[in-house]
Structure 1
Amino acid sequence: MPETFPDVLRRFWRTAGLHPRAVAVVDAAGSTTYAALRARAAQVAGALGPRPGTVGVLTDRGAGTVAALLGVLAAGGTYCPVDPAFTAERKKELAETAAIRTVLTPRPDPEPFGPPVLGPGLPAADGSFEPLPPAPDDPAYVLFTSGSTGRPKPVVTPRGAVAAAVHSLAELLEVGPGDRVLQFASLNWDTSFEEILPTLTRGATLVFDADAHSGSLPRFLRMLDRLRVSVLDLPTAFWHELVHHLTEDGGTALPESVRTVVIGGEATSRARLGNWRTLPGTDRIRLVNTYGCTETTLVTHAGDLHGPHSRAPEDGSAPIGRALPHVRERIGADGELLVGGPALALGYLGLPEATAERFPVLDGVRHFRTGDRVRRGERGELHHEGRLDDQIKVRGIRVDPAEVEAQLCAHPGVASAAATGVAAGDHTVVVAYVTAGRPDDGTDLAAELRAHLRRHAPGHLRPHRITVVPELVHTASGKVDRRRTHHRYTTGA
């Protein structure tokens, strides 16, 4: 009989009952206790009513968004975060694709984009409110991944998958009362759930602070010390920058409160890992490398690269680790990692062919084809060996170049486009090449495109550099060859 895991909403509800006065969230407005957060979640659920379908939430860094997430789950609904910085056009597209019925917003008078809106000032909840009992296959949330068709694909993740992943992750990181976990990731990506859900199901405190996103590493470090943060979950690219700063500064160290640093989303630099291992005080800090896909729910593989539990190879490499207890893994003949187990998404909403292609049943077990090539090390750990397709990771976010190209080609001045990822120091950026679809009229097409993308595309789909070129390089079959195009216009070959 398959193992069952405690539903995250029920576990939060029970934790709030056991520790009502403990601090659940710290944000710009102050501290919110577990009892107060549960009351706010009940208020949201009461306003939505039972089984509200998919609920869009205009995210905001604070307890309000956390209460909205918990409230949607308590009502038996499906949570779908919506970036308030998106244009009304993109919000409308996401709302239609995800079948959003209602929108929750912490702000008064939001710009309308289709579904009815519930704003601040919800009626008080009945003190006897109890969450609806969930089933493992009930959808918990809908998130979007980059798609090769040029349109984002909505991934539907069930409650049982979230329960399995959160249980394993909380056990791995040993999160519990007394921990203070920084909320750093975008609230529109699943990494934020890695921070929020283990924290609030185990009686720890979730910390929001503007200095986490100030762009100043000294301010970031002072904030960690001031708020006594103990657990950090950082994109690998940001961790690279942090290690470089600590190495160059010489006299600065991570605060004594920090006990665990989790990284993931991109390949770890051997040089930065070597720097980290020589920094004062890092021997006491767990450095945990993680791997996972939106379709496999949060984290599926992890390994300690440094610190008290490290089993990392001595050659300085940074494996993605071993499968967590709830995960079933297999490696295909071409080296592709396939993931099975209870934490798989239900599939892509409204895209049965794409779902069938990426979620095959092998030997009677449903798996997800990650598209990542791996090899197994001598100690059983997995090492990432690159992609089998053209997808890239930009600061931890999966990007399909075809979606970038579709955004560029939506501009009337573009005839064709090619986008690819290139290394820029310790991280990856997207660069794009376009051909003009109109005679040269003296306008700066690249500048027009940057303005166009600021209005119509999220940040991860905006190229770091756009170059207008006379032609793109094509393969023998007539397809655009992205890498050879980049090579031609960077080397002249």
Structure 2
Amino acid sequence: MTARPGEAEPALSTRPDRTGLAMTTRPDGAGPAGCGRSGGVLDDFLSAAHVHADRPAIRAEGADLTYAELAARVTAFAAGLGAEPGVVGVPAGHHTGTVTALFGVWAAGGTYCPIDPGFPEQRRTAMARTAGCRVLIGADGRPAPGPGGPDPEAAYVLFTSGSTGVPKPVVTSHRAIATTVGSLRELFGITPHDRVLQFASLNWDTCFEEILPALTGGACLVFDADAHRGSFPRFLRMLARERITVLDLPTAFWHELVGHLHESGEALPACVRLVIIGGEAAAPGKVARWSALPAGPVQLLNTYGCTETTLITHALELTGAPDPVPIGRALPHVAEHLGEGGELLIGGPALADGYLGRPAATAERFVTVGGRRFFRTGDRVSRAADGVLTHRGRIDHEVKIRGIRVDPAEVEAHLTGHPAVRAALVTGVTVAGRTALAAYVVPRAGTSGTGLPDRIAAHLRGRVPAHLVPSHIHVVAELAYTASGKVDRRASKEMLS
């Protein structure tokens, strides 16, 4: 680590572990040398690599990578970046290289920013510019200069949907993620004997629930393509073959899995001990069917959290058939407050720093109550006497699509950017038990509505991720407007229903 102006260069000492992997530490105990501003989770990973050097850290497509081997790759990646690289954009995907990059960026003292290589180029470029990426990792794994920008001195930058049509970059500190990961290791009961499936997209924070508790707890993280092939029989065979003990699944996927188990008579392999679900509300009927399955001693954990509050903040083991299904109790590190209209506000040491370069948006959602800082979730809840919270709807128009929070206004901004669209309304609708986006567009004068939905869909696919492209696009003659000339959402929905 390079000393900052006015600081003395810290002395370093190196202690080899029993595998020969050098773990460099500071005499003041501040953590590994070369880790820059990081620590916490990175330290825990390096400690796990020291203690469990010969155990498998990652199993990818049938091959094992030990903790010592992964740590060596992390060290080499960090060396390639150089000290204090700033925000590093990483093309995150389901492979070992993404995990190496995550820890490698931290080891170099940088800030990790995943950028989905499957997103349209325009979206990727905008994300890199908005995050201020000084370095972009290419498809070959090599660093290249990025657009550059201010260094937020954080663990990572992730994006959430924004009403202006541009995604909002959430800045999360090392303290926040370290606090949460410690809580999740305890909540999940992670041990070196666990084998955790890597299922979530590497571009959303849910993946950190899989990666970080596992690799700081000596467990094995498993990548396998059969997790994503869309075949439940193959999925179940993979769980048995890889001896998976912990599954973290989107609630919508779990709903379909429960349906398959119920209809086929198949069962989860006996190796599975814990299933974690989250991202959207669990259906009471699915929970009831799950409870009736001959699943053995499998714990089902329902979870809740926001990107701005760093992964999971509430959890509850589901038994029986509660209706509605609660979102759970606050974890030990979480402070909660019920605001106006029952809105859930979340505080504590795991709160994100805010939205990078968006002071107004930060001030709107991160508020001070009683001298403490909280995030306004936008979710209405009720609290039972035992502290369990139950979701009672939204105070705004945001919806969950495939477990991802979406502000319809972001999609509307892109729709009205099409030259043939005068006005647009986007809302969530239920299709086959899932929430989907539906768009209603008013064409500009002189524009034919024939073929317009297809043209609009193509326009969106070139600009936004797939989950922001409405499943249904309807051409309508008119929408309702407020006195100021904006689309009146409530009146328009009533008019269209």
Give the equivalent residue in structure 2 for 1:309: none
* Superposition pairs of residues 257-276 of structure 1, within 5 angstroms: 257-276=271-290
Post-superposition Cα deviations, 1:396-433, rounded to whole Å, max 9, x if no partner, equal 10000000111222221211111000122332111111
Aligned-partner Cα distance in 2 for 1:483–1:433: 13
Give me the whole-angstrom Cα distance separating, in 2, the residues matched to 1:384 and 1:182: 28
Q: Which amino acid letter does the alignment assign opposite residue 287 of structure 1? A: L
Aligned residue for 2:375, secondary structure, equals strand
Q: Tell me by how many angstroms 1:165 deviates.
A: 0.5
Does the C-alpha gap of structure 1 residues 437 and 29 become closer, same or farther in structure 2, counting only changes over 3 Å?
Answer: farther
Contact 1:161 1:342 in 2 (8 A): yes
Mapped pair 1:49 → 2:56 = no
- SS at 2:341 equivalent: coil
Give the whole-Å Cα distance in 2 for the aligned partners of 1:483 and 1:182: 42
- Match for residue 290 of structure 1? 303
2:98 maps to 1:74 = no
Report SS of the residue matched to 2:192.
coil
Choose from 147, 153, 167 the match for 2:162: 147
Q: By how many angstroms is 1:479 displaced?
A: 3.2
The one-letter amino acid of 2:344's match is: L
Q: Does 1:162 align with 2:195?
A: no
Following superposition, the deviation at residue 435 of structure 1 comes to 1.2
Where structure 1 has 5 or more consecutive residues not aligned to the other structure, the ranges are 117-136, 307-311
Cα distance in 2 for residues equivalent to 1:109 and 1:406? 35
Structure-2 residue corresponding to 1:96: 129
- For the 8 Å contact 1:142–1:157, the answer to whether it is kept is yes
Does the 8 Å CA contact 2:135/2:145 hold for their aligned counterparts? no
Cα deviation for residue 447 of structure 1 reads 0.7
Shift of 1:443: 4.5
The reply to whether residue 367 of structure 1 matches residue 358 of structure 2 is: no
Amino acid at match of 2:208: F
Asked if structure 2 preserves the Cα contact closer than 8 Å seen for 1:92 and 1:113, the reply is: no
Aligned match for 2:339, one of 315, 332, 343 = 332
SS in 2 for 1:186: coil
Offset of residue 186 of structure 1: 0.8
Give the equivalent residue in structure 2 for 1:404. Answer: 411
1:181–1:204 contact (8 Å) kept in structure 2 = yes
Q: Is the 8 A contact 2:420 2:447 kept in 1?
A: no
- The residue matched to 1:142 in structure 2 has which SS? strand
What TM-score, normalized to structure 1? 0.89
CA distance in structure 2 between the aligned counterparts of 1:114 and 1:326, rounded to whole angstroms: 36
Residue 155 of structure 2: SS of its match in structure 1?
Answer: strand
- Partner SS for 1:453: helix
Whether the aligned pair in 1 keeps the contact of 2:180 and 2:311 (CA below 8 Å) is: yes
Does 27-36 or 15-24 show the bigger shift?
A: 27-36
Q: Aligned residue for 2:463?
A: 456
Does 2:328 align with 1:321? yes
CA RMSD across the alignment: 2.1
- Is 1:23 aligned to residue 30 of structure 2? no
Check the 8 A contact 2:424/2:440 in 1, yes or no. yes
Structure 2 residue aligned with 1:107 = 140
Which runs of structure 2 are paired with 1:358-437 in the superposition (5 Å)?
A: 358-437=365-444
Q: Say whether the 8 Å CA contact 1:92–1:114 is kept in structure 2.
A: no
Alpha-carbon shift at residue 242 of structure 1 (Å)? 0.8
Contact persistence 1:321–1:383 (CA under 8 A): yes
Partner Cα distance (1:15, 1:389) in 2: 43
Aligned residue for 1:62? 95
- 1:343 paired residue number: 350
How many residue pairs were aligned?
Answer: 457
Q: 1:379: Cα distance to partner? A: 2.4
Cα 1:74–1:6 shift into 2, 3 Å: closer
Q: Distance in 1 between matches of 2:397 and 2:156?
A: 27
1:108-165 deviations in Å (ceiling 9; x for gaps): 799x99559xxxxxxxxxxxxxxxxxxxx94000000001222110000000000001
> Distance between the aligned counterparts of 1:395 and 1:107, measured in 2?
30
Secondary structure in 2 matching 1:366? strand
**Inter-CA distance 385–113: structure 2 relative to 1 (3 Å threshold):** farther
What is aligned with 2:266? Answer: 252
**Residue 19 of structure 1: how far off its partner (Å):** 0.8
Aligned pair 1:189/2:204, yes or no? yes
- The match for 1:83 among 90, 104, 116 is 116
- Kindly, what percent of the aligned residue pairs are identical? 56
- 1:206 lines up with 2:221 in the alignment: yes
Stretches of structure 2 lacking an aligned partner (at least 5 in a row)? 1-37
Superposed displacement of residue 256, structure 1: 0.7
TM-score by length of 2: 0.88
